[in-house]
């Protein structure tokens, strides 16, 4: 019998339904869940609707890290709701200011070999600890908290063999940018990336977390590293060595695909606007003037990342024409840089220190100037995501970012040596400061807890079962790589409405077509047509929930991003794929579409879509499993789950 890879071992240990055959649907037991405040309010409303008094996972944590700007009552009210409902239903609550969910979760809760499901697309961060950590929509997390399995097609496992070792000024960020350069943002759909080989040892825990975090940009289900001595050292520094177990693939393990990266030859890389896969070597565009540099986000806000910035800036100043921000990823990181003196070096340099939150990564403040070039250690650079529609956002390592902040132009960090700045490896503490006072445990007497609901928290919208005929006009036709930011924008104006679906639905596709919402209302809903990789990016289920509220019945595209496709099914919107991509060119906005004998066609596989406006027929595939078909026909996952309870 051939050896097993690490992914197979963990999935087998958690398998409750199906067989591990690539493409076949499986159900896995979920050990841990996490939510954040931009997605959590809906997830807990959905959990409430299931009538389960207490979560049935080993651990569930509710984080507040997205909506930290309290310009009005909405965010503060939602935070009180999240705190009270967590106390009542057995969930730990990480208070505002404690840090970004993925940074805190790896510090305080992640356990090698366990499964984690999170209502944030960057949940795979904890794969750096040897977990199977998957991002999903809030309704999937609610089902997992209620004790249900998480269903997904068995992913292919791609073995990424790392050879050699990282050279000075080259980091885990460059590893994942190299993969994005090779594979694109569509390359990882339906796959798990498992790292192995001699080069793994040269990646610190922080590097590994960066790699697994940005695996989401490949469209991957998740990414995973072995749990080895580096993992043990990290957990020991967190006072959690007891959680460590050694985990690795068998020596003769096989993979569905194999990729090699020679770390010795890797150089600093940078992603150009407006996609994480538009990657080139930093030296190719060095010299471009910049107006802003940001170090932080859930990708690169660890002590190591801030320590390298402080080392470079020590005794020096940020370039006069550059606004630089630094975000500690957690209270623990913030305290560590303060105690070690790094914070003083950063402040002295002129860097602006932001609170431990997602902040500018999700367009929550620090929008660049008009047309400005911003270099960020973040994970996404979609057009307009920064808050400035015409800004040009680049993604790079903290090393490249701080070199750029110092010189005022995009700079290969290896060139710092010519300025007399020698590379020094950041040594992480043997023991981090441990203070969990801002993580509140569930109430000991939950029956006494009153759930606090502000006026912005509206009743949960629920879809109804579709009839046997779908009909409507094409509300909008879009191209390739439409992101959830295109569908349901974020930012300080819109995100506070996340628990008020009638209000937030007014912004659906607002940055693509300002008339979309009005048209959807006038036409009584309808269809959306798109290109390849529709729905990439954030896991936000509002990109399905708000269109459902507006009457969107089906989405017909060339291909879907994994999480968004699942969210469409969860909320009773039919996901369809062109069987012949040439049909995409033959339809347009305003065309009237009809699907008859819906249930019969769905259970048969191929769906015929009639274009009444043009007198043509389109063959489509839905790609749903038999279970997903029944979920859709029930009007969505909540109806399906409650019905089967």
Position 1 scores a pLDDT of: 62
Q: What is the CATH number of the domain that holds 178?
A: 3.30.499.10
**Burial class of residue 50 in the structure, from the number of CB atoms within 10 Å of its CB (0-12 exposed, 13-18 middle, 19+ buried):** middle
The pLDDT tens digits for 360-390 are 999 889 999 999 999 999 999 999 999 999 9
- Same domain flag for 261 and 282: no
Position 23 scores a pLDDT of: 85
Is 564 tagged catalytic? Answer: no
Q: Computed over its alpha carbons, how large is the radius of gyration of the chain?
A: 24
Q: Which of 65, 207, 342, 485 is catalytic?
A: 65
Is 565 tagged catalytic? Answer: no
- Same domain flag for 312 and 346: yes
Position 299 scores a pLDDT of: 97
Q: What is the mean pLDDT of the chain?
A: 96
The answer to whether the CB of 619 falls within 8 A of the CB of 579 is yes
Overall number of domains in the chain: 3
Residue 431 lies in a domain: no
Query: What is the mean pLDDT, run by run of 10 residues, along the chain of 645 residues?
Result: 91 97 94 96 95 97 92 92 98 98 98 98 98 97 98 97 98 98 95 98 97 97 98 98 98 97 98 97 98 97 97 98 98 98 98 96 92 97 93 98 98 96 93 97 97 92 94 97 94 88 96 97 98 92 96 97 96 97 95 97 93 96 95 96 77
Q: What is the CATH number of the domain that holds 633?
A: 3.20.19.10
Is 352 tagged catalytic? Answer: no
- Same domain flag for 51 and 196: yes
Is 462 tagged catalytic? Answer: no
Position 538 scores a pLDDT of: 87
Distance, CA of 414 to CA of 403 (rounded, Å): 9
Residue 433 lies in a domain: no
- Same domain flag for 408 and 490: no
Residue 432 lies in a domain: no
Residue 251 lies in a domain: yes
Give the pairing type, strands 552-557 and 574-578.
parallel
Residue 1 lies in a domain: no
- Same domain flag for 526 and 581: yes
Residue numbers of the domain that contains 224: 6-265
- Same domain flag for 515 and 481: yes
Q: Which of 4, 66, 304, 385 is catalytic?
A: 66
- Same domain flag for 43 and 188: yes
The answer to whether the CB of 213 falls within 8 A of the CB of 206 is no
- Same domain flag for 22 and 170: yes
Q: CA 570, 576, 582 angle in degrees (round to 5)?
A: 160
The pLDDT tens digits for 228-276 are 999 999 999 999 999 999 999 999 999 999 999 999 999 999 999 999 9
- Same domain flag for 273 and 254: no
Is 540 tagged catalytic? Answer: yes
How far does Cα 252 stand from its chain's mean position? 32
Residue 453 lies in a domain: no
- Same domain flag for 251 and 381: no
Position 69 scores a pLDDT of: 85
Is 414 tagged catalytic? Answer: no
Q: Which of 380, 385, 564, 565 is catalytic?
A: 380
């Amino acid at each position: 019998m051939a050896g097993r890879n690490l992914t197979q071992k963990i999935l087998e240990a958690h398998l409750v339904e199906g067989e591990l055959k690539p493409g076949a649907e499986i159900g896995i037991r979920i050990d841990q869940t996490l939510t954040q405040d931009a997605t959590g309010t809906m997830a807990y409303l959905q959990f409430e609707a299931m009538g389960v008094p207490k979560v049935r996972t080993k651990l569930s944590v509710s984080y507040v890290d997205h909506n930290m700007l309290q310009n009005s009552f909405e965010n503060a009210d939602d935070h009180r709701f999240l705190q009270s409902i967590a106390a009542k239903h057995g969930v730990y609550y990480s208070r505002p200011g404690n840090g970004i969910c993925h940074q805190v979760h790896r510090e305080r809760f992640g356990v090698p070999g366990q499964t984690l499901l999170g209502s944030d697309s960057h949940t795979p961060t904890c794969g750096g600890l040897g977990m199977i950590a998957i991002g999903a929509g809030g309704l999937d997390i609610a089902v997992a908290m209620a004790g249900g399995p998480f269903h997904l097609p068995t992913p292919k496992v791609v073995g990424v063999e790392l050879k050699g070792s990282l050279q000075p000024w080259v980091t885990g960020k460059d590893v994942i940018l190299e993969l994005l350069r090779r594979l694109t943002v569509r390359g990882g759909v339906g796959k798990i990336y498992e790292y192995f080989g001699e080069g793994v040892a040269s990646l610190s825990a922080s590097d590994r977390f960066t790699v697994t975090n940005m695996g989401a940009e490949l469209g991957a289900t998740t990414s995973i590293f072995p749990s080895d001595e580096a993992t043990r050292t990290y957990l020991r520094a967190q006072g959690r060595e007891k959680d460590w177990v050694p985990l690795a693939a068998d020596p003769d393990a096989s993979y569905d695909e194999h990729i090699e990266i020679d770390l010795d030859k890797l150089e600093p890389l940078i992603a150009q606007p407006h996609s994480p896969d538009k990657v080139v070597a930093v030296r190719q565009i060095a010299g471009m003037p910049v107006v802003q540099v940001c170090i932080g986000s859930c990708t690169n806000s660890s002590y190591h990342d801030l320590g390298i910035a402080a080392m470079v800036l020590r005794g020096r100043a940020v370039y006069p024409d550059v606004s630089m921000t630094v975000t500690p990823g957690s209270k623990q990181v913030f305290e560590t840089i303060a105690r070690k003196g790094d914070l003083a070096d950063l402040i002295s340099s002129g860097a602006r220190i932001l609170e431990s939150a997602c902040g500018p990564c999700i367009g929550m403040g620090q929008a660049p100037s008009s047309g400005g070039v911003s270099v960020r250690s973040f994970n996404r650079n979609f057009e307009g995501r920064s808050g400035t529609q015409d800004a040009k956002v680049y993604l790079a390592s903290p090393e490249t970012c701080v070199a750029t902040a110092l010189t005022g132009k995009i700079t290969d960090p290896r060139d710092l040596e010519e300025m007399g700045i020698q590379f020094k490896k950041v040594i992480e503490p043997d023991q981090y400061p441990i203070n969990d006072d801002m993580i509140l445990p569930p109430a000991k007497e939950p029956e006494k807890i009153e759930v606090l609901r502000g006026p912005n928290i509206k009743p949960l919208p629920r879809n109804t079962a579709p009839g046997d005929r779908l009909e409507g006009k094409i509300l909008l036709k879009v191209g390739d790589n439409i992101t959830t930011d295109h569908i349901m924008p974020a930012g300080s104006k819109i995100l506070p409405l996340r628990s008020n679906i009638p209000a937030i639905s007014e912004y659906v596709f607002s940055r693509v077509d300002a008339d979309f919402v009005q048209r959807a209302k006038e036409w009584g809903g309808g269809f959306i047509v798109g290109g390849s990789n529709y729905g990439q990016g954030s896991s936000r289920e509002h990109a399905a929930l708000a269109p459902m509220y507006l009457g969107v019945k089906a989405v017909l595209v060339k291909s879907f991003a994994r999480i968004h496709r699942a969210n469409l099914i969860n909320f009773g919107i039919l996901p369809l794929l062109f069987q012949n991509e040439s049909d995409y060119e033959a339809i347009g906005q305003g065309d009237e579409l009809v699907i008859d004998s819906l249930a019969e066609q769905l259970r048969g596989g191929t769906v015929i879509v009639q274009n009444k406006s043009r007198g043509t027929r389109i063959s489509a595939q839905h790609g749903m499993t038999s279970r997903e078909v029944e979920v859709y026909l029930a009007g969505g996952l909540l109806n399906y789950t409650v019905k089967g309870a």
